[in-house]
Amino acid sequence: MSDYIGFFVRDNLGQVPNQQGTCWSSSPDIIFNGTSAQQNPSIYTTANGYATDYGSTVFLNTPNFVYLRALNTNPTVPVTGRAWFYFVESDLALWPNSWRGFNGDCVNVAGNPVNYQPITATANNQVCMAGLPYIWTPPNLASGTHYCAVSWIDNVPGDPSINPVSTFGYMGSFDNLVAFVLAHPNMGWRNTTDVTGLGLTWSQTTNITGPSVPGQFNVGVQCTNMPTDGQLGFSIPPPATGGSGAYFPLSPIPNPNYQGTVKITDWPANATSSITVNYKQGATNPPQGSNIVVTLTTPYASLSSETQLAVDRKGADLVSMQHSIDIDPFGRQIIMITPTPVVLIGSQSYNY
């Protein structure tokens, strides 16, 4: 194999650039993080992280957080490509015309119905990754089958609305398929181990765009008359441009009108991410009129005096008292006992 220049994706853990992999279907550069976002995704690009295979488990009919990484072999930097994520039902021959994921087919990035995002390298021989997870909700499968996940890194990205698969040309023989795989070190293939046991009632993802002037805001959930034998959780990936995320595991709803938010203080201007809310119903059906609302709020005290006056003139119903959850750097959750006044900026409601 001649020297390859571009984003290199391994076929198996021991493969290096310009070497043919010993197995095509176990790429360690397609990383499944389960049903929550990785709060420190940079671990995947360290020397130890790059030397680690993080497994093949995915959860059916449930949002899975998938990360794509690659090794940059291009000495001309910085360089930006485009990382695509696809999936396909199991087949010994991974024909590209069967790849799924395009146009939001069971895949989104930060709540947007796309299966691609930029990937940037700033140094030669740098392990890099797409900044946000791909949120993949694989449908249930027939017994005895599984999914294959595929990564494709465009080294010279064109129009993002054009699916690269449409440019691959006719591939009607095994010779064509083998030649295609051998010729593209920018492609990864990973067979999955599929689990069906989570049994979520529903899961919803909503995108989040932070303010153009960085400042504190809160993101979380507000319940109205929800049964306490149900379970609720949410996950917020850290933005690709920096800042923290949060993970609140699936837990019993402590009271019917429970509210819980995480405080965000370190997002850069115009940062984008998403919040995925998971709900698992217990024995009690939610009554008519109950709901779970995803909220974005800002502290009343952080507003200017002029804005506070305008809010006051509009009515006290714009201001509510809200408990928030601080997440420290070690991932521990500290529940603030004293609620603070906040102003609602936006919300998304899931009603019964």
- Segment 317-352, tens digit of pLDDT: 545 555 555 544 444 444 444 456 666 666 677 777
Q: Which of 8-12, 224-228, 256-260, 335-339 has the lowest mean pLDDT?
A: 335-339
Report how far residue 109's alpha carbon sits from residue 285's, in angstroms, rounded to the nearest whole number: 31
Are 70 and 130 contained in the same domain? yes
Per-position b or e across 43-56, b if 16+ CB within 10 A of its CB: ebbeeebbeeebeb
Domain contains 1: no
Report how far residue 334's alpha carbon sits from residue 311's, in angstroms, rounded to the nearest whole number: 30
Give the E-state strand segments of 5-133 in sequence order.
7-8, 30-32, 57-59, 64-72, 79-89, 107-108, 116-121, 127-129
Range of the domain at 79: 7-195
Are 113 and 134 contained in the same domain? yes
- Span 74-129, pLDDT tens digits: 999 999 999 999 999 887 677 898 999 999 999 999 999 999 999 999 999 999 99
- Residues with Cβ within 8 Å of 20's Cβ and at least 6 positions away in sequence, in order, are 1, 11, 182
Q: How confident is the model at residue 294 (pLDDT cuts 50, 70, 90)?
A: confident
Report how far residue 154's alpha carbon sits from residue 306's, in angstroms, rounded to the nearest whole number: 49
Structure tokens at 59: 């959860």
Are 214 and 337 contained in the same domain? yes
| Region at 289 (left for phi over 0; alpha for psi -120 to 50; beta for the rest) | left
Q: Domain count for the chain, please give it.
A: 2
Domain contains 181: yes
The structure's pTM equals: 0.84
What is the reported pLDDT for 54?
93
Among the three residues 140, 161, 195, which one is the final residue of a domain in this structure? 195
Domain contains 75: yes
CB burial of residue 4 (10 Å; 0-12, 13-18, 19+):
middle
Establish how many alpha carbons lie within 13 A of residue 348's alpha carbon, considering only the half-sphere containing its beta carbon: 13
What is the reported pLDDT for 154?
97
Are 283 and 300 contained in the same domain? yes
Structure tokens at 123: 């140094």
Q: How confident is the model at residue 229 (pLDDT cuts 50, 70, 90)?
A: very high
Are 151 and 74 contained in the same domain? yes
One-letter amino acid at 144 equals G
Report how far residue 255's alpha carbon sits from residue 6's, in angstroms, rounded to the nearest whole number: 53
Domain contains 81: yes
Report how far residue 113's alpha carbon sits from residue 101's, in angstroms, rounded to the nearest whole number: 9
Are 180 and 243 contained in the same domain? no
Q: Does a cis peptide bond (omega within 30 degrees of 0) precede residue 268?
A: no
Structure tokens at 160: 């993002």
Q: What sign for the dihedral angle of Cα 222, 228, 230, 231?
A: positive
- Give the SS3 label for residue 84: strand
Are 246 and 301 contained in the same domain? yes
What is the reported pLDDT for 125?
96
Among the three residues 180, 195, 210, which one is the final residue of a domain in this structure? 195
Domain contains 30: yes
The separation between the first and the last C-alpha atoms of the chain, rounded to the nearest angstrom, is 59
What is the reported pLDDT for 319?
52
Are 162 and 39 contained in the same domain? yes
Strand order in the sheet with 291-299: 319-322, 340-351, 291-299, 217-224, 259-264, 324-327, 333-335
Domain contains 2: no
In sequence order, the β-bridge partners of residue 326 are 334
Are 30 and 51 contained in the same domain? yes
Are 169 and 271 contained in the same domain? no
Q: Domain with 40 in it: what CATH number? A: 2.60.40.10
Strands 64-72 and 134-136: antiparallel
Are 235 and 122 contained in the same domain? no
Structure tokens at 296: 């974005």
Is 323 in contact with 220 (CB distance < 8 Å)? no
Report how far residue 208's alpha carbon sits from residue 274's, in angstroms, rounded to the nearest whole number: 5
Backbone angles phi, psi at 176, to 5 degrees: -60, -45
Domain contains 144: yes
Are 152 and 234 contained in the same domain? no
Is residue 58 predicted with pLDDT exceeding 90? Answer: yes
Q: Which of 97-106, 145-154, 191-200, 275-284 has the lowest mean pLDDT?
A: 191-200
Among the three residues 138, 164, 195, which one is the final residue of a domain in this structure? 195
Residue 304: CB atoms within 10 Å:
8
